[in-house]
Amino acid sequence: MRTGLQALCKIMLLVVTFMLLIHTAAAYTTIESGDTVVIDKVINDDVIVAGGNVIIDGTVNGDVIVAGGTVEMNGNIEQDLIVAAGDVTISGTVGDDVRVASGTLTIGGSVQDDVISFTGETILTDTGNIGGDLSAGSGKITIQGDVVGNVEASAEEINIQGNIGGNAELNAEKIAISPDASIAGNLEYRSRSETKIDEGIVGNNVHYYEMDYHEDGGIVSSLIRGLISYLALVLIGLIGLAIWPEYMENIAVKTSESPGMAFLTGLLVLIVAGILAFLLFVTIIGIPLGLILMITIFVMLYVARIFASIWIGRHLLSKMGKSSRAMNEMAFGLLVLLLVSAIPIIGGLVYLVATLIPIGNIYMTARN
């Protein structure tokens, strides 16, 4: 349970940090989007970029926020890098912090400050370097390079082969520490069994705690999945508000106008779309169209909550006597919706309503 609480604290810290960054996102004037986006020049500004494949070969003298399928950072970013993607590779230099929610994260370059990652797998290669602390929640974590500061890691499997300049706090079912590794400070680890550690690897004290990993790991995994979903939705919403602000505001405002009609319309749209997709799959010619329709349905089910979250955040903040930008309202509303959706039974109903009402409003707006 202690590991789960620690993970929760780290996740909430990342959420707060992320929302503070979003507060200034309206000042980002450089926005790139497309199936494949390549940044190969010098940009003296903060950047928001979205695409199926994002490649950064140039220099960005500011922060970079990325949402994409595959992200490759081979150039230089002077300040923070924030990413939600399928696969992320950092081969260049990041001058400040890195925040990543992704399937895989590979760092083969230099990050001059802290790294926080929530991924399926995190790899710091032998050419990689982290100048600050590493906080990672992942399925598998491999550290072959150097971490100047502390390491806090929770995973199913952790392999330490490089050098850690501070303390290490590890939580995993399986932990392996190479004879070539070094930990300058203290080592505190929790696992199902003790790990063989050669003499001289740890500079100070070693503390081992046995834990029921399956029970505790479930909490950590759930928190990580929830955070990744939250960050991905926030980034998608952030980009949507930057590119189509009036449209998203219009759909969000309609949430409270005719919620019952919008809910029933959204439900009907999904039923009809599902039946139509099934009929298309029956014919060979219609299979491609059926696939497109199914993908559209899944995308709508995923992103529809963004529209409802803008209204939720605005409504709650107004009740508290506060007014804010749509980006902040959306981030706050998504956080509230995520927490409420975790409540058994009630959470599922809230999730359903928050999904179907926006879909109904999108359909009625398009029809009109």
pLDDT at residue 176, rounded to an integer: 93
Q: From 44, 72, 79, 67, select the one nearest 56 (Cα to Cα).
A: 72
Say whether pTM exceeds 0.75.
no
249 and 357 share one domain: yes
> What is the number of other CB atoms lying within 10 angstroms of the CB of residue 180?
12
Q: Which helix or strand (DSSP H or E) is residue 11 part of?
A: helix 2-23
119 and 165 share one domain: yes
pLDDT at residue 342, rounded to an integer: 66
Residue 228 lies in a domain: no
Q: From 303, 304, 278, 275, select the one nearest 291 (Cα to Cα).
A: 278
Residue 221 lies in a domain: no
108 and 154 share one domain: yes
268 and 307 share one domain: yes
- Whole-number Å distance between alpha carbons of 82 and 101: 9
Q: From 224, 264, 246, select the one nearest 101 (Cα to Cα).
A: 224
> What is the number of other CB atoms lying within 10 angstroms of the CB of residue 153?
22
180 and 315 share one domain: no
203 and 271 share one domain: no
Name residue, tokens 């995308």.
299
Q: How far is CA 193 from the centre of its chain?
A: 31
210 and 270 share one domain: no
Cβ neighbours for 357, distance < 8 A, ≥ 6 positions apart: 255, 259, 262, 263, 266, 308
pLDDT at residue 4, rounded to an integer: 44
Residue 189 lies in a domain: yes
pLDDT at residue 280, rounded to an integer: 78
Q: From 241, 223, 220, select the one nearest 67 (Cα to Cα).
A: 241
Do 270 and 297 contact (CB within 8 A), yes or no? yes
184 and 312 share one domain: no
- Whole-number Å distance between alpha carbons of 235 and 249: 16
Q: Which helix or strand (DSSP H or E) is residue 347 part of?
A: helix 346-367
Residue 95 lies in a domain: yes
20 and 154 share one domain: yes
The helix/strand count (H/E) of the chain reads as 7, 20
Residue 233 lies in a domain: no
Residue 117 lies in a domain: yes
Here the contacts of 189-195 (C-beta below 8 Å, separation 24 or greater) are 190/3
pLDDT at residue 224, rounded to an integer: 62
Residue 226 lies in a domain: no
168 and 252 share one domain: no
The β-bridge relationship of strands 134-143 and 110-111 is: unpaired
Residue 232 lies in a domain: no
Burial 65-87 (b: 16+ CB within 10 A, else e): bbbbebbbbbbbbbebbbbbbeb
| Torsion angle of C-alpha atoms 341, 347, 353, 359, degrees rounded to 10 | 30
Residue 42 bridge partners (DSSP): 59
Tokens of 26: 């309206």
Phi-psi region of 200 (alpha: psi -120 to 50; beta: other; left: phi over 0): left
pLDDT tens per residue, range 169-199: 998 888 999 999 999 999 999 888 888 898 8
81 and 187 share one domain: yes
Cβ neighbours for 365, distance < 8 A, ≥ 6 positions apart: 250, 251, 254
- Spans of the chain below 70 pLDDT: 1-34, 211-228, 320-324, 342, 344
191 and 149 share one domain: yes
pLDDT at residue 102, rounded to an integer: 80
Q: How many domains does the chain have?
A: 2
308 is in which domain, residue-wise? 244-367
- Whole-number Å distance between alpha carbons of 269 and 280: 16
Distances (CA, A) of 28 to 44, 64, 202, 213: 11, 9, 44, 43
Collapse the DSSP code of 85 into the 3-class scheme (helix H, G, I; strand E, B; otherwise coil) and give the result: strand
